[in-house]
């Protein structure tokens, strides 16, 4: 049985109903380390609707979840369902480790959201938990540095604002997270996309990283270390919120 990497258990379970046989156990890996009440309710309904079918819903922390799912798939023992980041889709699809998602064309997904799970015209998962990134600003710190707390319009404005905080307070100007690949990649892409860059061409699938936009972003991202907290490679994205709340960084980028 091939694994199906998708991001919304409710839709997958309903779509898997015909494949579920009596006395069958489906293995569902849920990244995030916890089973939410809404997720459990969907699983319970699926089990109730299919006699003899059980679902082993395993919650795995984000730090190890993706590797576990990929390792099981490569070893020939894939989970029936996996809730992971959509960045894994191309790798899984290219290696024939997932099956396409049967998304009803009438489903009201915004095109940009649906594109996150679509490769060369084929949808390989159901989008879920997408988020809009924002720049969080601690106005108390910024104003204490003698600056106006106004959203920067350019990278130069952002850097100048962060530098002013460093020069005039005991706090860092901006928070950076680089503890591992996922943390670094997510943070870097925030800046790359704001510079008009791309990772993959949405039509051809070609690698777009070798670009002037990427080189400009790398240069600026490296420069930000001068105005960030000490040792960015020791910090995860979720920890930046704590630094921000403790008045140790003036700005950081994150989702909701």
Which of the residue ranges 64-68, 87-91, 161-165, 196-200 has the most confident prediction, judged by mean pLDDT? 161-165
Region 113-136: mean pLDDT is: 86
CATH number of the domain at 4-123, please? 3.40.190.10
Range list for CATH 3.40.190.10 in the chain: 4-123, 134-254
If DSSP codes are grouped into helix, strand and coil, which group holds residue 28? strand
Question: Quick one: pLDDT band at residue 91, thresholds 50, 70, 90?
Answer: confident
**Top-level class of domain 134-254:** alpha beta
Contact in structure between 80 and 9 (CB atoms under 8 Å): no
CB–CB of 199/175 below 8 Å? Answer: no
Determine contact, residues 233/156, Cβ cutoff 8 Å: no
- Residue 192: in which H helix or E strand, if any? helix 181-194
* Residue 23 binned pLDDT confidence (cut-offs 50, 70, 90): low
pTM of the model: 0.69
Residues 140, 247: contact at Cβ < 8 Å? yes
Distance CA 85, CA 92 (A): 12
């Amino acid at each position: 049985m091939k694994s199906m990497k998708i991001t919304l258990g409710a839709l997958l379970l309903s779509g898997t109903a015909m494949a579920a046989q009596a006395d069958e156990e489906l293995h569902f890996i849920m990244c995030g380390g916890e089973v939410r009440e809404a997720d459990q309710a969907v699983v319970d309904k699926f089990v109730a609707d299919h006699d003899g079918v059980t679902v082993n819903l395993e919650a795995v922390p984000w730090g190890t979840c993706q590797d576990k799912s990929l390792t099981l798939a490569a070893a020939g023992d894939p989970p029936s369902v996996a809730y992971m980041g959509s960045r894994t889709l191309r790798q899984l699809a290219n290696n024939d480790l997932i099956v396409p998602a049967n998304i009803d064309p009438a489903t009201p997904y915004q095109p940009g959201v649906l594109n996150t799970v679509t490769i060369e015209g084929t949808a390989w998962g159901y989008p879920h938990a997408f988020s809009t990134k924002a720049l969080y600003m601690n106005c108390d710190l910024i104003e204490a540095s003698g600056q106006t707390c106004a959203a920067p319009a350019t990278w130069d404005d952002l850097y100048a604002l962060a530098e002013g905080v460093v020069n005039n307070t005991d706090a860092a100007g901006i928070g950076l997270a680089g503890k591992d690949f996922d943390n670094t990649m997510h943070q870097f892409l925030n800046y790359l996309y704001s510079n008009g860059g791309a990772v993959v061409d949405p039509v051809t699938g070609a690698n777009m990283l070798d670009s002037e936009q990427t080189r400009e972003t790398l240069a600026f991202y490296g420069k930000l270390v001068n105005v960030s907290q000490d040792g960015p490679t020791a910090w995860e994205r979720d920890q930046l919120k704590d630094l921000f709340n403790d008045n140790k960084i003036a700005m950081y980028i994150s989702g909701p």
